[in-house]
Amino acid sequence: MITVPVELGERSYDVLVGEGARHRLLDVLPFGVQRAVVVTQANIPVEVDPGVEHVVVTIGDGEGAKDLETIDDLCRRFAQYGLTRGDVVIGVGGGMVTDVAGFAAAVYHRGVPVVHVSTTLLGQIDAAIGGKTGVNLPEGKNLVGAFWQPSAVLCDVETLGTLPPREYRSGLGEMAKYRFLGAEDLLDLPLDERVAACVRIKAEVVAGDEREGGRRAILNYGHTLGHALEIATSFSLTHGECVAIGLVYAAELACRLGRIDRRRVDEHRETVAAYDLPTTLPAGIDVEELLPLFARDKKAVRGVTFVLDGPDGVEPVTDVEERFVREALEAVEP
């Protein structure tokens, strides 16, 4: 078992990565917990035993269920069960589940402990770690949420064998991102070490910028276009597929701004292709529809904020001229 600490002072916690990690659940529950609510989905073939009195609550599938109505329903279920601040919420599933379970835990009784058992590659290397929780509005993705750190995260790589190929490949979109944040040669490592390498990078970034006031924005590399694509395609593309295209787009934009050279752009394209992910926009996408969606990205502070590669590494960039934004979009058209 690989243990990766997330150093946040009194909010510090461990991420356990390895085969059978879910069976360590009782070991990581907050001290004194007597009851739990397990939040999951009906289609997740992973069961957990918290080792304490508990109930299982299922939420809907897909991005359509990642909304405030689901949070309202969950909090009412918590109240009906009599959940208190001395109890715990356990999210079992992918990023959608941990985002929703974490947000409900953050707002119920103004905060109850939450532990995540992440069952997808996307969740294990990104969504379940770092304390960002939230749900969607019709106007954009993850626009309502809270920072609420879990008490622990369990990344059981055995559960990845239950994933459909396309969902597993979606996680590879986030893994490709880490190639440009300092994790190299991931394809040559065993699966648990690959996951742990990504977790270490995220843990280090989160420890230095818990609430995304600066450097943490680099974890959104590829996501400015990625999130816009998810909305524009009504989530017919997976998150990882959208991020993969977003990585190539970000490289093309950075090149046009003189931040990187063509060789570095080719490196992005080759990395994404090595994970068997798309490098161009899907056919039929209206560029005019994408442009206003950029401004709704939750990391936007002053106009549209892009996260771009450059001589000092990946970093947020603002005040990008629209002509460069359009030219880079043309470079990723099919």
Distances (CA, A) of 2 to 36, 42, 95, 191, 302: 25, 29, 21, 12, 40
**Which percentage of the chain shows pLDDT scores above 70?**
98
Catalytic residue among 210, 212, 241, 252: 212
Catalytic residue among 169, 177, 220, 241: 220
pTM of the model: 0.90
3-state secondary structure of 146: strand
Query: Catalytic residue at 179?
Result: no
Predicted confidence (pLDDT) at residue 274 exceeds the cutoff of 50: yes
Predicted confidence (pLDDT) at residue 301 exceeds the cutoff of 70: no
Helices (H), strands (E): how many in the chain?
11, 11
pLDDT in tens, 141-168: 788 999 999 999 999 999 999 899 999 9
- Kindly indicate the confidence band of residue 292, based on its pLDDT and cuts at 50, 70 and 90: confident
Query: Catalytic residue at 184?
Result: no
Domains and CATH numbers, the chain: 2-177 (3.40.50.1970), 212-331 (1.20.1090.10)
Query: Catalytic residue at 227?
Result: yes
CA distance 39 to 20: 19
Catalytic residue among 194, 202, 256, 268: 202
pLDDT in tens, 181-195: 998 779 889 999 999
Query: Catalytic residue at 220?
Result: yes
- Kindly indicate the confidence band of residue 287, based on its pLDDT and cuts at 50, 70 and 90: confident
Scanning the chain, the segments in alpha helix (DSSP H) are 25-28, 68-81, 95-107, 121-122, 165-178, 191-208, 223-232, 239-256, 262-274, 287-294, 322-331
Give the model's pLDDT for residue 62: 85
Q: Which two tokens stand for residue 194?
A: 């690959």
- Kindly indicate the confidence band of residue 296, based on its pLDDT and cuts at 50, 70 and 90: low
Q: Which two tokens stand for residue 49?
A: 């035993």
pLDDT in tens, 200-242: 999 999 999 888 778 888 999 999 999 899 989 988 999 999 9
Nearest to 245 by CA among 142, 138, 150, 334: 334
Distances (CA, A) of 180 to 204, 258, 319: 15, 17, 23
Q: Give the dihedral sign, CA 158/162/165/168.
A: negative
Contact 167, 148 (CB under 8 A): no
pLDDT in tens, 71-113: 999 999 999 999 999 999 999 999 999 999 999 999 999 999 9
Give the model's pLDDT for residue 297: 58
Catalytic residue among 110, 263, 302, 323: 110
Mean pLDDT, residues 309-318 taken together: 94
Query: Catalytic residue at 212?
Result: yes
Query: Catalytic residue at 204?
Result: no
Nearest to 46 by CA among 157, 151, 162: 162
Catalytic residue among 116, 177, 179, 216: 216
Mean pLDDT, residues 290-304 taken together: 66
Give the model's pLDDT for residue 140: 79
Q: What is the mean pLDDT of the chain?
A: 93
Contact 117, 124 (CB under 8 A): no
Catalytic residue among 66, 116, 169, 223: 223
Give the model's pLDDT for residue 300: 46
User: What are the beta bridge partners of residue 304?
Assistant: none
CA distance 250 to 320: 12
Distances (CA, A) of 104 to 23, 68, 133, 191, 310: 24, 10, 9, 31, 38
Mean pLDDT, residues 264-282 taken together: 96
Give the model's pLDDT for residue 73: 96
Give the model's pLDDT for residue 293: 85
**Which percentage of the chain shows pLDDT scores above 90?**
81
Catalytic residue among 54, 141, 177, 227: 227
Q: How many alpha carbons fall within 13 Å on the CB side of residue 78?
A: 30
